[in-house]
């Protein structure tokens, strides 16, 4: 069989793809190939596989059809479209133009630099051979045979890799601290308790073996023979694929005793998290693994000294582990050549919000926010204006227009009052109210406080209540100062990392959008027209045709008027639901 | 020994000691709610924050071990402000009903509010509203007053090994809960109550007997119930015992069991005998008698038995509900007067 004849169909089976119907599309391809006529036509030349996510979840289901080395990508594929793809492209040899992705899809991809995600969307995550075909597990084998644990640590230190969990602690340094401790037992933990729609599910769903390989390298470096992957129950697909991958790796001798014929033993267990946000904090995560309530404790002692069951423990993030095989394969110089002075390598970013190409991207550290939002993300839809981008998840901060050209790395984001976090970016446009946004994130943060320390437990609740007051027109002079004072005190006195950053959305929105707070408090006005209590709906007499649709739809009967004559809204009865605004065909309903 | 400087004063403490211990050695007062030297370091209340030279943010002194040449500041404007804010936050979610609270006058939160002069509070908002429905006979649980210092949970786990309670829920709704929020069903040692810094856990047995008052007399004594001989302190007003507790600095570290802590109602019980009773006829009623009459009767019968069957035919069983002195006299009487070693006590372990 020659290469020219070979046809490969890749159907996205990540969570995004599955939700859009990826499972059905995959089955439709399999069914189509099983039909006798088709089978006779293409024989065994054609393979069809589910693959992990390649990022642009907004266009699911994405299907790649590779003939020889020519790849054609189709978007929005549904099962009923499969027969045309099979007949026209696979049998007929002519790609179906109308289903193909446009130029912007290629732009979305071409401006990224995929290292960690390179094989996601290319290999079948449920087949270990697919990973072996792209060189998988060769790095760990070479490492075990040719390098000492200390050499691995020195190499990782030299590469400049920093923890992808958010704090950006140098990975090699952390390992060295752990390895230095005298202990009869050490543990390594992969922190996959990420709440943002980001790297964790995609990496583990798309390429679980790369995480296993990375963990094995880490375990060898610090001398751990047991590893845990702490992953949320909310990622069932990732958990299932990880289980499968661990089983397969064990069958091949990549996990278990005497890995790759060496004297090194290592195995991995999965621990499911019950969904507490705070369990991403390493000491809370350890409590959760040992079966206690996930509550952080004071550090020191750090987990590298006293961690799981009191033994030296290394906790790294999923993305950090997935970087390791690449660093060891290509060398520390290659890795440190990517990125900025202080932050090396690439970063996976979950790009969402008011942006055309929402999805998961991987860019070198130092890429500017403008490039991420406008070049890769395709800019703001519906011609709206960019306002800010919220980075680092619910505990991050916003980066406004004036910092659009900020090269993204740990230090720069911190400098402008935000943070890297797990790398999520939510794009906000002119129709987003910053007070409302701060309240939205605080609502989450206060609910997720573990309750151990008062500043976080009660303080974030009070922040949320003050914000709600401002949004509902009860804002008072001095509220902004009170918010800032309380935020500073919470950040300074909280026990763990969660409380330390939980007020971030408040502080950073006040820093850049103080005028919006002032408009709410002083003029009882929401400039973005979001805060319902501050809005007044009225009908412009010159535009109203008196069709009566708004009156019919008003749930409280606040709109009155004679047919074919301008109607009016009784503002004292109006509950500001916005139904009239949405239904008026003549744009006669205004909110102010 | 580790040498460090706290508030510009030099101090040497044992390696492994926490900054808070070192500060207390210098008699520097650092406020705490969750700290108890008998329990493992916790760092939850954040009141004991101190600043360490070279560190970017304050640390909790109860969880941070001392280090050589460490320079610590325990009091400055910034720390004062943080502590005050934390207290304000705690009081913004507290019933503040000190006037009727069982613990008024003996409450750490109240003391701190007084110390920091917290008459006004910048924060107002939603407060917890948990229903009180725990039907257990010993411990009153009012979770609206709880500051979540976690001492009760920790003493139940670390000291008792019972784990009857733990944290539940998240955010402002976090509370100390029994399994499935059922009524407390444990050994009722009351250790949780004894470490509670507020009025969240109080005794149902001693409720309404009077709070800390000027006329309370404290009598240190030994618990008579068993051979452990725990130290206890009787709180009495005139001739009534109004409360029993144990000092943390004694041999049993302040820990007691359900009997030692709660089992003293009998002292004030109206059902107690006030005069000897004698059954003068077979199947007749017990009738009041004088002490002379009763003692003569007993002495006569003892002599009869000893004469006929020898002293070992008699045996004495002493009670935990009488004083040690009485128990001593009782065994002396059996050994020296009756002449037998057949003497035992209900609480022999």
For residues B99 and B165, membership in a common domain is answered with yes
Type and span of the H or E element at A200: helix A199-206
ipTM for the complex shown: 0.90
Please give the Cα distance from B120 to B280 (Å, whole number). Answer: 72
Question: Which of 474-503 (A) contact B at CB < 8 A?
Answer: 482, 485-486, 489, 491-495, 500
What per-residue confidence (pLDDT) applies to A2?
43
* A339, A409 Cβ separation under 8 angstroms: yes
Q: Is the pLDDT of residue A214 over 80?
A: yes
**Subunit contact B170:A452, Cβ cutoff 8 A:** no
The answer to whether B85 contacts A493, with C-beta atoms less than 8 Å apart, is yes
B188 and B220 share a domain? no
Q: Which residue of A has its CA nearest to B65?
A: A300
pLDDT at A304 over 60: yes
Between B86 and A392, name the one with better pLDDT: B86
B59 touching chain A per CB within 8 A: yes
- Partners of B73 on chain A (C-beta within 8 Å) are none
* Nearest CB partner across the interface for A298, out of B63, B89, B174: B63
Side-chain-side CA neighbours of A350 within 13 Å: the count stands at: 20
DSSP state of A365: T
The residue length of chain B stands at 349
Best of B46, B70, B81 to mutate (most A CBs within 10 Å, chain A): B46
- The domain spanning residue B262 has which CATH number? 2.20.25.90
Over residues A436-453, the pLDDT tens digits come to 999 999 999 999 999 999
Q: Is residue B81 part of a domain?
A: no
Q: Do B14 and B70 have their domain in common?
A: yes
- Asked whether A390 and A428 are in contact (CB, 8 A), the reply is yes
Say yes or no: A450 contacts chain B, CB-CB below 8 A.
Answer: yes
Of 3.40.30.10, 3.30.450.20, 3.40.50.300, 2.60.40.10, the CATH number of A3-101 is: 3.40.30.10
More confident residue, A58 or A552: A552
Alpha carbon of A361: minimum distance to chain B alpha carbons (Å): 33
Predicted confidence at residue A3, as pLDDT, reads 44
The Cα–Cα gap between A143 and A155 comes to: 11
Of B43, B150, B174, the CB nearest to A298: B43
Nearest CB to B45 within list A447, A450, A454: A454
One DSSP character per residue, A571-584 reads TTT-----HHHHH-
Token readout for A42 is: 């293409």
Contact criterion met (CB below 8 Å) for A212 and A245: yes
Q: A227, A189 in Cβ contact below 8 A?
A: yes
In a domain, B84, yes or no: no
Q: Name the residue among A137, A134, A177 with its Cα closest to residue A157.
A: A177
Beta bridge pairs of residue B286: B279
- Find the helix packing angle between A199-206 and A236-251, rounded to 10°: 40
d(CA A137, CA A128): 10
Residue-wise pLDDT for B46-68, tens only, equals 999 999 999 999 999 999 999 99
Q: What is the mean pLDDT of residues A177-191?
A: 95
Residue labelled with tokens 């071409």:
A110
Q: What's the token pair of residue B143?
A: 């979770």
Tell whether B196 and B223 lie within a shared domain: no
A251–B contact, CB cutoff 8 A? no
Is the domain of B196 the same as that of B221?
no
pLDDT of A1 over the 50 cut? no
Nearest one of A3, A11, A28 to A86, comparing CA atoms: A28
Closest Cα in chain B to A467: B125
Determine, for residues B171 and A451 on separate chains, whether the beta-carbon distance falls below 8 Å. yes
| Whether B150 contacts chain A with CB within 8 A | yes
Mean residue pLDDT of chain B comes to 93
Which CA distances in Å does A77 have to A73, A442, B313? 10, 38, 100
What is the DSSP annotation of A154-169? HHHHHHT-B-TTTT--
Cα A511 from Cα A456, distance rounded (Å):
21
pLDDT of residue B300: 95
| Domain carrying residue B299 | 289-345
Task: Please answer yes or no on whether A453 and B150 come within 8 Å at the CB atom.
Answer: no
Using CB atoms, pick whichever of B46, B78, B122 lies closest to residue A454: B46
Residue spans per domain, chain A:
3-101, 128-336, 346-429, 434-522, 536-591
Mean pLDDT over B275-301 rounds to 94
The tens digit of pLDDT for each residue in B137-180 reads 999 999 999 999 999 999 999 999 999 999 999 999 999 999 99
Distance, in Å, from the CA atom of A578 to the CA atom of A474, rounded to the nearest integer, reads: 21
Residue B80 lies in a domain: no
Whole-number pLDDT of residue B321: 77
Predicted confidence at residue B265, as pLDDT, reads: 84
Give, in order, the Cα–Cα distances in Å from A405 to each of A26, A34, A294, A353: 41, 53, 39, 19
Per-residue model confidence (pLDDT) at position B319: 84
In this prediction, residue A462 carries a pLDDT of: 97
Contacts of B128 in chain A (CB under 8 A): none
In chain B, the residue whose alpha carbon lies closest to the alpha carbon of A449 is B171
Does A489 contact B58 at a Cβ distance shorter than 8 Å? no
The predicted pLDDT at position A332 comes to: 96
| Best of B43, B143, B169, B170 to mutate (most A CBs within 10 Å, chain A) | B170
- Residue B296, pLDDT > 60, answer yes
pLDDT in tens, A262-302: 999 999 999 999 889 999 999 999 999 999 999 999 988 99
d(C-alpha B343, C-alpha B327), whole Å? 10
Q: What is the pLDDT of residue A6?
A: 81
What does the alpha-carbon distance between residue A144 and residue A140 come to, in Å, rounded to a whole number?
A: 6
Please work out, in degrees rounded to the nearest 5, the angle formed at the alpha carbon of residue B40 by the alpha carbons of B37 and B46.
Answer: 80
- CB burial class (10 A; 0-12, 13-18, 19+) of residue A394? buried
- Give B9: exposed, middle or buried? Use CB within 10 Å, 0-12, 13-18, 19+: exposed
Residue A155 contacts B, CB cutoff 8 Å = no
State the pLDDT at residue B169: 94
| Residue A470, C-beta contacts closer than 8 angstroms, at least 6 positions apart | A435, A479, A517, A520, A521
Looking at CATH, the fold of the domain delimited by A536-591 is given as Alpha-Beta Plaits (3.30.70)
How high does pLDDT run on average in chain A?
92
Q: What is the CATH number of the domain that holds B197?
A: 3.30.70.20
Of the candidates B23, B7, B8, B13, which has an alpha carbon nearest to the alpha carbon of residue B68?
B13
> Residue A513 pLDDT > 90, yes or no?
yes
Shared domain check, B145 and B245: no
Residue B83 forms part of a structural domain = no
DSSP B333: I
Decide if pLDDT at B212 tops 60: yes
Using a pLDDT cut of 70, give the percent of chain B over it: 99
Confidence of residue A5 (pLDDT cuts 50, 70, 90): low
pLDDT over threshold 90, residue B267:
no
- The closest CB to that of A459, out of B58, B89, B174, belongs to B89
| Weakest mean pLDDT among A516-520, B225-229, B341-345 | B225-229
Residue A404 has pLDDT above 90, yes or no: yes
Terminal Cα-to-Cα distance of chain A (whole angstroms): 69
Q: With bands split at pLDDT 50, 70 and 90, how would you rate the model's confidence at A580? A: very high
Helix (H) or strand (E) holding A243: helix A236-251
Q: Does domain A434-522 have CATH number 3.10.129.10?
A: no
Are B166 and B102 in the same domain? yes
C-beta atoms of B58 and A493 within 8 A: yes
Find where tokens 């609270």 sit.
Answer: B101
One domain for residues B254 and B318: no
Residue B324 falls inside a structural domain = yes
Q: How far is CA A491 from CA A436, A447, A455, B49, B186, in A?
A: 21, 17, 8, 13, 39
Q: Which CATH number fits domain A346-429: 3.50.50.60, 3.30.70.260, 3.30.2350.10, 3.10.20.600?
A: 3.10.20.600
Quick one: average pLDDT of A131-135? 94
**Cβ contact, residue pair B85, A489, below 8 Å:** yes
CB A256 within 8 A of CB A250: yes
Q: Are residues B231 and B255 in the same domain?
A: yes
Q: Compare CB distances from A458 to B63, B89, B150 and report the shortest one's residue.
A: B89
Q: Of A245, A235, A164, A206, nearest to A54 (Cα)?
A: A206
Dist. CA B173–CA B168, nearest whole Å: 8
Residue from B85, B146, B197 whose CB has the most chain A CBs within 10 Å, to mutate: B85
User: Contacts of residue B89 in chain A, CB cutoff 8 Å?
Assistant: 454-455, 458-459, 462
CATH entry 1.10.10.60 includes domain A128-336: no
Are residue B111 and residue B163 in the same domain, yes or no?
yes
What does the alpha-carbon distance between residue B166 and residue A15 come to, in Å, rounded to a whole number? 36
Mean pLDDT throughout A114-121? Answer: 91
Say whether pLDDT at A527 is over 60: yes
Contact with chain A for residue B147, Cβ under 8 A? yes
Total domains in chain B come to 4
Measured between CB atoms, which of A298, A448, A461 is closest to B125? Answer: A461
pTM summary value = 0.90
B223 with B184, same domain: the answer is no
Q: Which of A275, A421, A445, A432 is nearest to A349 (CA)?
A: A421
């Amino acid at each position: 069989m020659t290469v020219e004849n070979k046809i490969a169909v890749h159907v996205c089976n990540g969570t995004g793809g599955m939700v859009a119907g990826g499972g059905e599309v995959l089955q439709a391809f399999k069914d189509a190939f099983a039909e006798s006529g088709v089978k006779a036509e293409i024989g065994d030349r054609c393979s069809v596989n589910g693959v992990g996510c390649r990022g642009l979840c907004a266009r699911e289901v994405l299907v790649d059809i590779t003939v020889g080395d020519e790849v054609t990508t189709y978007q929005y594929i549904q099962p009923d479209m499969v027969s045309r793809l099979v007949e026209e492209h696979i049998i007929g040899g002519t790609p179906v133009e109308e289903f193909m992705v446009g130029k912007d899809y290629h732009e979305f991809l071409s401006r990224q630099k995929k290292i960690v995600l390179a094989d996601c969307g290319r290999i079948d995550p449920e087949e270990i051979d697919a990973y072996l075909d792209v060189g998988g597990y060769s790095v760990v084998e070479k490492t075990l045979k040719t390098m000492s644990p200390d050499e691995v640590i020195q190499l990782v230190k030299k590469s400049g890799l920093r923890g992808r969990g958010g704090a950006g602690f140098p990975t090699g340094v952390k390992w060295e601290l752990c390895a230095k401790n005298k202990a009869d037992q050490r543990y390594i933990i992969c922190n996959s308790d990420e709440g943002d729609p980001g790297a964790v599910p995609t990496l583990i769903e798309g390429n679980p073996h790369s995480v296993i390989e990375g963990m094995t390298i880490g375990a060898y470096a610090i001398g751990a023979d047991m590893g845990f992957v702490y992953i949320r129950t909310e990622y069932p697909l990732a958990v299932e694929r990880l289980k499968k991958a661990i089983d397969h790796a064990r069958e091949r001798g990549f996990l278990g005793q005497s890995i790759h014929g060496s004297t090194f033993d290592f195995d991995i267990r999965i621990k499911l998290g019950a969904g507490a946000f705070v369990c991403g904090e390493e000491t809370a995560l350890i409590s959760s693994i040992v079966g206690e309530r996930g509550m952080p404790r004071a550090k020191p002692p750090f987990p590298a000294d006293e961690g799981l069951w009191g033994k030296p423990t290394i906790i790294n993030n999923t993305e950090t582990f997935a970087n390791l095989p690449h660093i060891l394969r290509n060398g520390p110089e290659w890795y440190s050549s990517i990125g900025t002075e202080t932050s090396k390598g690439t970063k996976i970013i979950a790009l969402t919000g008011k942006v055309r190409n929402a999805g998961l991207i991987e860019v070198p550290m130092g890429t500017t926010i403008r490039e991420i939002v406008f070049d890769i993300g395709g800019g703001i839809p519906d011609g709206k204006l960019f306002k800010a981008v919220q980075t680092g998840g619910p505990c991050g901060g916003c980066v406004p227009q004036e910092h659009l050209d900020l090269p993204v790395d740990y230090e720069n984001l911190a400098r402008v009052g935000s943070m890297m976090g797990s790398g999520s970016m939510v794009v906000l446009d002119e129709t987003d109210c910053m007070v409302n946004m701060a309240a939205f994130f605080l609502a989450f943060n206060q609910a997720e406080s573990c309750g151990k320390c008062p500043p976080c437990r009660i303080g974030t609740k009070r922040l949320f209540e003050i914000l709600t007051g401002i949004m509902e027109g009860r804002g008072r002079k001095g509220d902004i100062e009170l918010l800032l004072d309380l935020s500073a005190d919470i950040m300074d006195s909280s026990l763990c990392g969660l409380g330390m950053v939980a007020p971030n959305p408040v502080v950073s929105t006040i820093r850049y959008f103080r005028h919006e707070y002032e408009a709410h408090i002083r003029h009882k006005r929401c400039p973005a027209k979001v805060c319902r209590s501050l809005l007044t709906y009225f009908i412009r007499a010159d535009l109203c045709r008196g069709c009566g649709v708004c009156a019919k739809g008003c749930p409280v009967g606040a709109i009155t008027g004679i047919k074919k004559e301008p109607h009016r809204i009784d503002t004292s009865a109006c509950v500001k639901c916005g139904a009239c605004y949405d239904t008026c065909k003549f744009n006669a309903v205004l909110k102010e | 020994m580790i040498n460090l400087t706290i508030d510009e004063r030099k101090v040497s403490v044992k390696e492994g000691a926490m900054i808070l211990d070192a500060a207390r050695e210098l008699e520097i007062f650092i406020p705490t709610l969750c700290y108890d030297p008998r329990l493992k370091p916790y760092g939850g209340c954040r009141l004991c924050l101190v600043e360490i030279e070279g560190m970017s943010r304050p640390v909790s002194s109860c969880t941070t071990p001392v280090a050589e040449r460490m320079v610590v500041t325990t009091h400055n404007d910034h720390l004062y402000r943080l502590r005050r804010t934390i207290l304000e936050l705690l009081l913004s979610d507290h019933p503040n009903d000190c006037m009727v609270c069982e613990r008024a006058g003996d409450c750490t939160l109240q003391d701190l509010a007084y110390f920091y002069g917290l008459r006004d509070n910048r924060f107002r908002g939603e407060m917890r509203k948990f229903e009180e429905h725990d039907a257990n006979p010993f411990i009153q649980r009012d979770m609206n007053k709880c500051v979540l210092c976690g001492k009760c949970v920790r003493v139940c786990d670390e000291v008792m090994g019972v784990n009857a309670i733990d944290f539940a829920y998240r955010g402002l709704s976090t509370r100390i809960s029994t399994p499935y929020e059922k009524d407390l069903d444990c050994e009722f040692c009351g250790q949780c109550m004894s470490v509670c810094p507020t009025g969240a856990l109080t005794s149902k047995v001693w409720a309404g007997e009077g709070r800390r008052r000027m006329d309370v007399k404290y009598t240190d004594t030994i618990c008579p119930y068993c051979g452990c001989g725990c130290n206890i302190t009787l709180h009495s007003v005139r001739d009534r015992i109004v409360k029993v507790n144990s000092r943390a600095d004694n041999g049993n570290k302040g820990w007691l069991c359900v009997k030692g802590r709660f089992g003293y109602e009998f002292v004030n019980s109206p059902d107690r005998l006030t005069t000897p009773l004698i059954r003068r006829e077979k199947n007749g009623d017990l009738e009041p008698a004088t002490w002379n009459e009763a003692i003569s009767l007993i002495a006569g019968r003892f002599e009869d038995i000893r004469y006929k069957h020898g002293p070992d035919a008699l045996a004495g069983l002493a009670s935990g509900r009488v004083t040690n002195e009485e128990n001593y006299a009782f065994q002396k009487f059996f050994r020296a007067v009756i002449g037998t070693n057949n003497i035992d006590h209900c609480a022999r372990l």
